[in-house]
Structure 1
Amino acid sequence: MVLWHPPDAPWVKLNTDGAFSTSTLAAGEGGLVRGSDGGLLRAFCAPIAASSSFEAELLALIRDLEMAMELSTHIWIELDSAALVRLLSSRHFGSADFRHHMALIRSMTAQRHVRFSHIYREGNRAADFLAGRGSRPLSLHILIQSLRLGT
């Protein structure tokens, strides 16, 4: 069984995800920042302009990291993209299509305490849900109702 675990203080944990539909070309991002007590500090989702699933993951990380940086200088980032975690943990910038995004992420994290780890999709369900909702914009009222109902 895959479970989400809270970080140790003073860390916050950012779970982020990107969604991309090859049939509609719609993309969305979603994420949550939670504290060491497991309490929700911030949740967000929005549409993004991406041309692939990998780019959606990168853009989601950039946008969600900006929000997490407002809350803490110690950010543990969990992603369900093992390929992205490997790239972020290496010194490489990836393919030419993504180097700008990677350079931005490296710049954003340079002056902070940041760790990256992989979590299986089952443990990242909340971020996955929000990313899916981000690709299908809803009114805030409907989104809050959906979150309460878990739909």
Structure 2
Amino acid sequence: MVLWHPPDAPWVNLNTNGAFSASTLEAGEGGLVRGSDGEHLRAFCAPVAASSSFEAELLALIRGLEMAMELSTHIWIELDSAALVSLLSSGHLGSADLRHHMALIRSMTSQRQVRFSHIYREGNRAADFLAGRGVIPLPLNTLIQSLRLGT
């Protein structure tokens, strides 16, 4: 069983995910920031203009970083995309069509203590749920009820 575990203080944890439908070309982003005692500090989900699931993942990470940076200088980022974690850890900027996103992420994280790690989809369920809801936006009260029920 794969579970999410809170970070040690003073770290905050950022889990993000992107969703992309090749059939409809719709994309969404989602994520949440949690503190060292596991409390939810920030969450988001929204549609995004992305041309691939990888770009949706990058856009979700940028949005999540904006939120996490308001809360801490120590950010532990967990992603269920092993390819993205590998790229972020390598120092490379990736393919030409995504370099501007990667350069922005590098700039955002340059003055912070940041860890990147892979988490299996089962441990990233909350961010996965939010990203899926970003593709098809729901009214806020419906989204909150769905989060409470875990559906």
Query: One fold, TM greater than 0.5?
Result: yes
Residue correspondence of structure 1 range 38-57 to structure 2 within 5 A: 38-57=38-57
Q: CA deviation at 1:39?
A: 1.0
Other-structure match for 1:149: 149
Instruction: Flag structure 1 segments of 5+ consecutive residues without an equivalent.
Output: none
Report how far residue 148 of structure 1 moved.
1.3
> Aligned equivalents of 1:69 and 1:108: distance in 2?
8
Q: CA deviation at 1:115?
A: 0.6
Letter in 1 for 2:147: L
Which stretches of structure 1, 4 residues or longer, exceed 6 Å deviation after superposition?
none
Q: How many matched pairs?
A: 151
Distance 1:147 1:63 in 2: 20
| Residue ranges of structure 2 left out of the alignment (5+ in a row) | none
Quote the Cα distance in structure 2 between the aligned partners of 1:24 and 1:115. Answer: 34
Give percent identity, aligned residues only.
Answer: 87
2:134 aligned with 1:134, yes or no?
A: yes
- Give me the whole-angstrom Cα distance separating, in 2, the residues matched to 1:149 and 1:84: 30
CA distance in 1, matches of 2:37, 2:86: 28
Question: What TM-score, normalized to structure 2?
Answer: 0.98
1: CA distance between counterparts of 2:64 and 2:48? 12
The one-character-per-residue Cα deviations of 1:11-67 (angstroms, maximum 9, x if unpaired) are 000000000011111111110111111111111111100000100001110111101
Whole-Å Cα distance in 1 between the matches of residues 108 and 63 of structure 2? Answer: 11
Aligned 1:58-69 pairs, distance under 5 A = 58-69=58-69
